[in-house]
C-alpha cells in the first residue's frame, strides 16, 4: 500500500466522521460581489418640496372682504401696516393675471412692495391672501439709484427703460433661480407695459454677502437714515432671501406699487414687445436714453467713500494762465 493510498483512506475516514461540515463546505454557493451593493444603512427619504399653497379664484373676493374688515376696520393700525389702497390694487392685479384664461386658482401667498415708503423703512410685504398674515410685518428692500436722483431715500422716478438703473412698478411673475454676481438670485417677468422689460433689464431678486454690504450699509443707515441703493433690483437682507425666493420662484406673484399719488409719470419704452423664455428675452433695438443717468456702478452708489451722486464743478483756472 502506497503512501498516496494511505492518505486517501485517512481523508475518507475524516470525512465520514465529519460528513456534515464537509458537505456543507462543498454545497456552499460561491460569493459574488456586485458593484453598489452591501450592508449599507437604510436609504434616507428624499426631500420632496411640498406643493405651493393656492387660493381659489371663487373665494378671492370673500377673502379680500374678510381681510379688509379685520385689518382696516379700526383706527389703531400699526404704522407699518400695508396701505389699504395698495393692498386692493395688488389683489386687483392678482385677479387680472391669475384668475383669467381658464385658471381657477393661484398662489395663496404673494409679495407686495410699497415704494412710497422711505428706503430705511420696511416696505416689502409677504401676504397670505387667505388670512391677511404679513400685512403688519414688512421687511426692508432697496430701490434703484435711478429712482432716487437726489439720494434722499425716497423713490420718485419709475421707468421701464434699459440702463436707467430705476425700479419698475406693476405686477410680475417669479421665474427661475440662478447664481449670478450677487449669489443666488431669482429672475422676474413683468406682466404690464410699465415693467415688461424686467427680464431684459436683469431686474431680479437677490441679496448680498456680508463682505459686500453695498445695499444695506449699517454706517449709512446710522449717518444718513437710509440704506444704499440697487440698480433696480429688489435687494433684501441675507436672512430673508430664501423666504422671499421660496415664495416667488416658478410662478409666484409680486406687485410693486406706490401708495398715494405718483410724483412723476412712469417712463415707458418705445417697443413693449418682449419674448419671455427661460433666462432669455428680446430687447428693443434702440431703447431711449434715460436723461441725467445716475452713477453707472451699483457698487459705488450709496457706499461710504464712493463718488458723490451730485457732480462737482471743476476748480476755476488760475488767473494769468
- Every domain of the chain and the residues it spans: 54-257
Q: 111-120, 143-152, 254-263: which range is least confident on average?
A: 143-152
User: How many C-beta atoms surround the C-beta of residue 295 within 10 A?
Assistant: 18
Q: Are 229 and 144 in contact (CB under 8 A)?
A: yes
Classify residue 253 by burial, with Cβ atoms within 10 Å: 0-12, 13-18, 19+: buried
**6, 238, 252: which is closest to 110 by C-alpha?**
252
Instruction: Give SS3 for 153.
Output: coil
Residue 164 grid cell: 436707467
Report d(CA 227, CA 155) in Å as an integer. 13
User: How many C-beta atoms surround the C-beta of residue 214 within 10 A?
Assistant: 23
Q: Are 115 and 169 in contact (CB under 8 A)?
A: yes
User: What pLDDT digit, counting tens, does each position of 199-230 carry?
Assistant: 999 999 999 866 555 555 555 555 555 566 78
Q: How many helices (H) and strands (E) does the chain have?
A: 6, 9
User: What pLDDT digit, counting tens, does each position of 259-308 carry?
Assistant: 989 988 888 775 555 545 444 433 444 444 444 444 433 433 333 333 33
Q: Which single residue is written with the C-alpha cell 397670505? A: 128
Please report, for residues 7, 20, 59, 68, 262, the alpha-carbon distance to residue 240 in angstroms, rounded to integers and kept in the order given.
Answer: 84, 71, 30, 27, 28
Cα 308 from chain centroid (whole Å): 30
User: What is the value of pTM for the model shown?
Assistant: 0.70
For the beta sheet containing 204-206, the strands, ordered from the edge strand earlier in sequence to the opposite edge, are 124-128, 109-114, 253-257, 170-180, 183-190, 204-206, 234-235
Residue 258 has pLDDT above 70, yes or no: yes
Instruction: Give SS3 for 139.
Output: strand
Residue 279 grid cell: 433666462
Please name the fold of domain 54-257: L,D-transpeptidase catalytic domain-like (2.40.440)
User: Residue 179: phi, psi to the nearest 5?
Assistant: -110, 120
User: What pLDDT digit, counting tens, does each position of 25-64 carry?
Assistant: 556 677 776 666 556 666 677 777 788 899 999 999 999 9
User: How many C-beta atoms surround the C-beta of residue 95 within 10 A?
Assistant: 15
Amino acid at each position: 500500500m502506497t503512501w498516496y493510498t494511505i492518505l486517501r483512506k485517512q481523508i475518507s475516514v475524516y470525512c465520514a466522521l465529519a460528513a456534515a461540515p464537509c458537505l456543507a463546505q462543498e454545497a456552499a454557493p460561491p460569493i459574488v460581489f456586485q458593484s453598489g451593493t452591501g450592508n449599507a444603512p437604510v436609504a434616507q427619504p428624499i426631500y420632496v418640496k411640498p406643493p405651493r399653497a393656492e387660493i381659489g379664484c371663487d373665494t378671492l373676493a370673500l377673502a379680500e372682504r374678510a381681510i379688509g374688515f379685520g385689518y382696516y376696520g379700526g383706527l389703531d393700525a400699526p404704522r407699518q401696516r400695508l396701505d389699504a389702497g395698495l393692498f386692493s390694487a395688488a389683489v386687483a392685479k392678482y385677479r387680472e393675471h391669475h384668475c383669467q384664461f381658464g385658471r381657477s386658482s393661484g398662489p395663496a401667498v404673494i409679495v407686495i412692495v410699497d415704494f412710497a415708503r422711505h428706503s430705511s423703512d420696511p416696505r416689502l410685504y409677504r401676504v397670505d391672501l387667505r388670512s391677511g398674515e404679513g400685512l403688519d410685518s414688512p421687511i426692508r428692500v432697496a430701490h434703484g439709484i435711478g429712482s432716487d436722483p437726489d439720494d434722499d431715500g425716497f423713490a420718485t422716478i419709475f421707468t421701464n427703460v434699459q440702463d436707467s438703473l430705476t425700479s419698475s412698478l406693476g405686477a410680475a411673475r417669479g421665474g427661475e433661480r440662478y447664481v449670478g454676481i450677487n449669489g443666488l438670485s431669482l429672475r422676474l417677468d413683468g406682466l404690464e407695459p410699465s415693467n415688461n422689460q424686467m427680464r431684459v433689464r436683469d431686474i431680479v431678486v437677490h441679496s448680498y454677502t456680508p463682505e459686500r454690504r453695498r445695499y444695506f450699509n449699517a454706517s449709512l443707515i446710522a449717518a444718513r437714515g437710509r440704506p444704499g441703493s440697487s440698480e433696480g433690483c429688489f435687494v433684501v437682507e441675507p436672512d430673508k432671501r430664501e423666504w422671499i425666493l421660496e415664495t416667488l420662484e416658478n410662478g409666484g406673484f409680486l406687485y410693486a406699487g406706490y401708495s398715494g399719488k405718483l410724483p412723476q409719470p412712469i417712463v415707458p419704452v418705445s417697443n413693449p414687445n418682449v419674448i419671455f423664455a427661460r433666462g432669455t428675452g428680446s430687447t428693443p433695438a434702440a431703447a431711449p436714453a434715460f436723461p441725467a443717468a445716475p452713477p453707472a456702478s451699483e457698487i459705488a452708489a450709496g457706499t461710504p467713500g464712493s463718488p458723490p451722486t451730485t457732480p462737482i464743478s471743476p476748480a476755476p483756472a488760475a488767473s494769468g494762465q
